[in-house]
Amino acid sequence: MSKKITTLLIFLVITILTACSDDSDAKTDDLDELEELKVVFEAPETAEAGETILLEATVTFGDEKVIDANEVSFEYWLDDDEDSSTEINSTNNEDGTYTAEIVVEQEGIYSIYAHTTAEGLHTMPLKTVEVKTDSSE
């Protein structure tokens, strides 16, 4: 009788472990299918003081371009002075790209965030632009 109980217990343990293993694989498959909000943020590495600087963000969710993002704005500031940042809204080009133009007069290194909210997610890639005056070259 004890051999039957031991065999039954071993069978139950194996069944439980197999069931748990199958369940975790299903959860892993679900995670593999999650789509990601991606922003390709383009800005020049350098610019002249007083020159118009074009900022462009291309927004995708999974493999699809996002033509109706909730928000795409650009926030920029002179390094070491983030408290004096300026934020401007972008223009939605209705093709998955969002653009804005800025002009800065003071030379230095500027940090720029592309604040992007779409599909219930938020991301904010960062770029830097070095602004020079003619005499600083």
**pLDDT single digits (tens) 67-81:** 999 999 999 999 988
Query: In which residue are the tokens 């299918």 written?
Result: 33
Task: Kindly state whether residues 86 and 113 are assigned to the same domain.
Answer: yes
DSSP classification of residue 96:
S
Q: What's the pLDDT score for residue 11?
A: 64
Task: Kindly state whether residues 66 and 13 are assigned to the same domain.
Answer: no
Provide the number of structural domains found in the chain: 2
How many CB atoms neighbour CB 119 within 10 A?
16
Q: What's the pLDDT score for residue 134?
A: 76
- Domain containing 25 equals 1-34
Of 1-5, 58-62, 89-93, 104-108, minimum mean pLDDT range: 1-5
Task: Kindly state whether residues 65 and 16 are assigned to the same domain.
Answer: no
Q: Could you tell me what percent of the chain has a pLDDT over 70?
A: 75
Task: Kindly state whether residues 96 and 63 are assigned to the same domain.
Answer: yes
How many CB atoms neighbour CB 48 within 10 A?
15
Task: Kindly state whether residues 129 and 96 are assigned to the same domain.
Answer: yes
Task: Kindly state whether residues 30 and 42 are assigned to the same domain.
Answer: no
User: Is the entire prediction scored with pTM above 0.85?
Assistant: no
Q: Is the Cβ–Cβ distance between 111 and 124 less than 8 Å?
A: no
The secondary structure element, H or E, covering residue 73 is: strand 71-78
Residue 123's domain is classified under what CATH number?
2.60.40.10
Task: Kindly state whether residues 123 and 76 are assigned to the same domain.
Answer: yes
**DSSP state string for 5-49:** HHHHHHHHHHHHHHHHHHHHHHHHHHHHT---EEEEEE--SEEET
Task: Kindly state whether residues 52 and 104 are assigned to the same domain.
Answer: yes
List 52's β-bridge partners, or say none: 103
Return the exposure string of 51-68: e unless at least 16 CB atoms fall within 10 Å of the residue's CB, then b: eebebbbbbbbeeeebee
Q: Which comes out higher in pLDDT, residue 7 or 129?
A: 129
Task: Kindly state whether residues 59 and 119 are assigned to the same domain.
Answer: yes
Task: Kindly state whether residues 20 and 63 are assigned to the same domain.
Answer: no
Task: Kindly state whether residues 119 and 92 are assigned to the same domain.
Answer: yes
Task: Kindly state whether residues 3 and 52 are assigned to the same domain.
Answer: no
